[in-house]
């Protein structure tokens, strides 16, 4: 099947109606601007990192920038840098200012606006930080901040105060303090290794870090939080995946937001991780103009399930500074959840949550199916709006 045939199918049929090959290239995009780059370089994650697009001139080579985008790139450079891997940049529709990949990767004027209620640390991570790099907000688990680097700096990032800022880099001593804290707290059974993106570390350093965590007797579960399957799937070489598999049980939490990110390269990465027993889950963020339609969420989540990646969370955008233009009304999020329930398998329906400002934790948001209840009965509707009753006791 040729690329043009696949593109024709995409415009004529829903992905669920396509054959297995066509369905896995839903987000495929040509790399014409890098046509002279040999495959061995294009598929080398180090080449992708070295050749990231960082300047207006770099971006203008692939996109017709709007005046607002130019203004935003200049205005945000000192606070939150811009960087795109060639792979992720190739997914951008150069002629569409509303392209969902473009919106996530290239600054917009909304980033320059600080609204009342915006917070530099919206989740109160610093408030719950007993030692540098460790956030201990829940009783049995901690977040371990190990790097400030990412292949692509997502414009909706909740950690803009740290990510892309070299002064927030986790030095060796900081990592040692974090490991010592975890070792000294036997209640910690679950560690989320995050950043930045921990996959920006070398295989050797990541192996050492995961090995040190696995050597702590009370650490039962390690979660690797990475957007590399979306922005740099080439990072997951066979050797890298084999290294990760040494540290089971290891869970990979990733972050697909739109079906345009669902490429053959991403599919191969997710499948390769699953083949080595690495359980993958997706944490989507609800973003205005990107994925605030039920069909986009559904298409993306059904594709993820085919790659053995479980849709886990749908996050309401945090109150981070400079991302107010991405925020979707909660009622719309609830409407999306209602539209998902029933038409697709429950496995494709994530939990919609708000991570409460200031460190209150994740609060599930659920559409209201209950019509009334008393001591005798509960009256509710199903996904089709049909009314049912059930004994209350």
**Nearest partner of 175 among 196, 147, 156, judged by Cα:** 147
Taking only the tens place, the pLDDT of each residue in 232-267 is 999 999 999 999 999 999 999 999 999 999 999 999
Please report whether residue 392 resides in a domain: no
The answer on 175 and 34 residing in a single domain is no
- CA distances for 204 relative to 61, 114, 227, 228, 309, angstroms: 35, 40, 20, 17, 26
Residues 56 and 172 grouped into a single domain: no
Q: Which residues are catalytic?
A: 137-138, 141, 150, 154, 157, 159, 318, 355, 362
pLDDT in tens, 147-188: 999 999 999 999 999 887 777 777 789 999 999 999 999 999
Same domain, 97 and 180: no
Domain housing 344: 134-363
Count up the domains in the chain and report the number. 2
Residue 383 lies in a domain: no
Instruction: To the nearest 10°, report the CA torsion of 272, 274, 277, 283.
Output: 120
Residue in 216, 234, 221, 233 with CA at minimum distance from that of residue 193: 221
Is 150 found in the same domain as 54? Answer: no
* 388 domain residue, yes or no: no
Asked whether residue 122 is assigned to any structural domain, the reply reads: no
Are residues 147 and 62 part of one domain?
no
* Residues 94 and 146 reside in one and the same domain: no
- Identify the helix (H) or strand (E) that includes residue 206: helix 203-214
Q: What is the DSSP string of 97-122?
A: TT-HHHHHHS--GGGG---TT-BSST
Question: Same domain, yes or no, for 321 and 248?
Answer: yes
- The CATH number for 339's domain is 3.20.20.70
Angle in degrees, CA 162, 290, 66, rounded to 5: 80
Do 94 and 165 lie in a common domain? no
Same domain as 338, residue 294 = yes
Q: Return d(Cα 256, Cα 372) in angstroms, integer.
A: 37
The pLDDT tens digits for 89-115 are 999 998 899 999 999 999 999 999 999
Whether residues 162 and 95 share a domain: the answer is no
Residues 6+ apart with CB under 8 A from 331: none
Q: Is residue 384 part of a domain?
A: no
Return the closest-CA partner of residue 62 out of 93, 37, 38, 36.
93
**Cα distances (Å, whole numbers) of residue 133 to 86, 153, 171, 202, 361:** 30, 20, 10, 19, 18
Q: pLDDT digits over 302-327, tens only?
A: 999 999 999 999 999 999 999 999 99
DSSP states of 345-384 = -GGG-PEEEEEETTTTEEEE-----EEEE-SSEEEEE-TT
3-state secondary structure of 162: coil
Burial of 363 (0-12, 13-18, 19+ CB in 10 A): exposed
Q: Is residue 157 located within the same domain as residue 254?
A: yes
The per-residue pLDDT for range 282-296, each reduced to its tens digit, is 999 999 999 999 999
| Shared-domain flag, residues 203 and 82 | no
Indicate whether 123 belongs to any domain: no
* pLDDT tens per residue across span 26-73: 555 557 789 999 999 999 999 999 999 999 999 999 899 999 999 999
């Amino acid at each position: 099947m040729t690329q043009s045939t696949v593109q024709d199918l995409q415009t004529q049929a829903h992905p669920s109606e396509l054959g297995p090959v066509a369905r896995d290239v839903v987000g495929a995009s040509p790399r014409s601007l890098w046509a002279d780059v040999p495959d061995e370089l294009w598929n080398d994650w180090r080449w992708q990192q070295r050749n990231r697009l960082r300047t207006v001139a770099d971006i203008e080579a692939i996109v017709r920038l709007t005046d607002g985008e130019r203004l935003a790139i200049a205005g945000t450079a000192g606070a939150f840098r811009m960087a795109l891997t060639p792979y992720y940049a190739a997914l951008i529709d150069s002629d569409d200012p509303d392209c969902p990949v473009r919106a996530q990767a290239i600054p917009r004027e909304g980033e320059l606006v600080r609204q009342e209620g915006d917070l530099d640390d919206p989740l109160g991570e610093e408030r719950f930080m007993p030692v540098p790099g460790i956030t201990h907000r829940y009783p049995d688990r901690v977040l371990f901040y190990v790097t400030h680097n990412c292949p692509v700096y997502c414009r909706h990032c909740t950690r803009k105060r740290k990510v892309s800022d070299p002064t927030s880099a986790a030095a060796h001593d900081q990592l040692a303090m974090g490991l010592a804290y975890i070792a000294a707290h036997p209640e910690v059974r679950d560690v989320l290794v995050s950043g930045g993106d921990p996959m920006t570390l070398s295989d050797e350093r990541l192996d050492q870090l995961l090995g040190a965590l696995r050597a702590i007797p009370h650490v039962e579960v390690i979660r690797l939080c990475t957007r590399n399957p979306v922005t740099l799937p080439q990072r997951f070489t066979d050797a890298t995946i084999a290294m990760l598999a040494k540290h089971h049980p290891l869970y990979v939490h990733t972050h697909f937001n739109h079906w345009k990110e669902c490429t053959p390269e991403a599919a191969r990465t997710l499948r390769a991780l699953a083949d080595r027993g690495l359980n993958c889950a997706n944490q989507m963020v609800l973003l205005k103009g990107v994925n605030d339609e039920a069909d986009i969420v559904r298409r993306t989540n059904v594709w993820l399930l085919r790659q053995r990646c479980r849709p886990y969370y749908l996050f309401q955008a945090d109150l981070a500074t400079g991302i107010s233009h991405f925020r979707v009304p909660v009622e719309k999020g609830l409407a999306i959840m209602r539209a998902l329930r029933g038409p697709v398998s429950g496995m494709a329906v994530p939990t919609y949550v708000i991570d409460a400002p200031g460190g209150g934790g994740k609060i599930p948001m659920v559409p209201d199916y209950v019509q009334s209840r008393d001591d005798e009965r509960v009256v509710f509707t199903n996904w089709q709006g049909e009314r049912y009753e059930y004994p209350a006791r």
